[in-house]
Amino acid sequence: MQHLDPDHHDGTSDATPGGERDKRRPGELLFAMALTGASLFLLFDAWGIENAFGPNGLSSPRAIPLAATAAMLISALLVTVKTLRLPLDRTETVMKDILPVTVILFAALLIAYGVLLRPLGFLPTSALFLIVAIKVLARRGWFWTIGISLGSLVVIWLIFRIVFSVLMPSGVVPEAEFIQFFRNLTAGGGA
């Protein structure tokens, strides 16, 4: 079977194989070494799993974790060696192709979302997140940004709350009372 990659290693498609075939991407070696280190650590940890009910034999709870982490270590080592042999792709840089500022910013935004979710509640946190994110990405006027953000948030909230009955932390917004108000309203109107 031929290797099919109609120019999509640039990430325009969902089917994204990483990088050029015979070149090492910036940071790839570091990643492989980090995986090797992590595998080694996990292997040690797996070795420490003790069977409370008998010998640490082939059927003990440590068997599969040990086998899995050993497989991880061996494959990570092989990958590291293979990566080491490839020439570095000089056309790419970490800042441009692997970890641009936007990605770091969004990772930070997502973490901020997790931190704020409980104290602030779903609606305000999501509104803030969407406004900042869309503003950064689309670089359009505030009016457009806020309109699109709040509009899509309302749609999402309605779908979740009504169709899927997902309960998100309400935080500072009295969500339940709000819904009850409308329920009463419609019930009153219907009766």
Partner 1 sequence: MGSLMDFLTVFTQPQLLALVGVGTFAGVYVGAIPGLSVTMAVSILISFTFSWDVYPAISLMIGIYMGGVYGGSRTAILLNIPGAPSAIATALDGYPMAKRGEAGTAIGVTTVMSFIGGFIGIGVLALAAPMVSDFALRFQPRDYMLLAILGILLVGSLSQGSLVKGIFAGALGIAIGAVGRDPLTFTERFTFDLQLMEGGISFIAVMIGMFGVSEALLQLHHVDKAAVRQKISRVVPSIATVKKHLPLSVQTSTIGVVIGALPGTGGDIAALMAYDHAKRVTKDPERPFGEGAMEGLVAPETANNAAVGGAFIPMMTLGIPGDAVTAIMIGALFIHGLNPGPMLMIDKPDMFWFIVGCLVMANFFMLLFGLTGIRLFTKIVEMPRSVLIPLIMLLSIVGAYAVNNSVSDVYWMLGFGVFGYFMRHYGYPLGPVILGVILSRLLDDNWRRAIITEREDLGLFFKGVFASPLSTVLLVAVILIFVSQTPIWARAKAKLLNRKERVQ
- Identified binder of partner 1 from the candidate list 88, 91, 95, 152, rule CB under 8 A: 152
Residue 31 found at the interface with partner 1 (CB under 8 A)? yes
Residue 22 found at the interface with partner 1 (CB under 8 A)? no
Amino acid identity of 94?
V
Extended beta strands in 17-77, E state: none
**Nearest distance in Å: CB 17, partner 1:** 5
- Identified binder of partner 1 from the candidate list 5, 141, 174, 178, rule CB under 8 A: 5
**Nearest distance in Å: CB 188, partner 1:** 28
**Nearest distance in Å: CB 182, partner 1:** 21
Q: How far apart are CA 132 and CA 105, in angstroms?
A: 11
- Structure-token pair, residue 105: 């910013």
- Identified binder of partner 1 from the candidate list 69, 120, 121, 123, rule CB under 8 A: 69
Residues 95-134 that bind partner 1 (CB under 8 A): 97-98, 100, 102-103, 106-107, 110-111, 113-114, 117-118, 122, 126, 129-130, 133-134
- Structure-token pair, residue 27: 């940071």
Q: Where are the alpha helices (DSSP H) in 89-174?
A: 101-120, 122-138, 142-158
**Torsions phi, psi of 172, nearest 5?**
-85, -10
Closer of 21 and 177 to partner 1 (Cβ): 21
The tally of CA atoms less than 13 A away on the side-chain side of residue 62 is 17
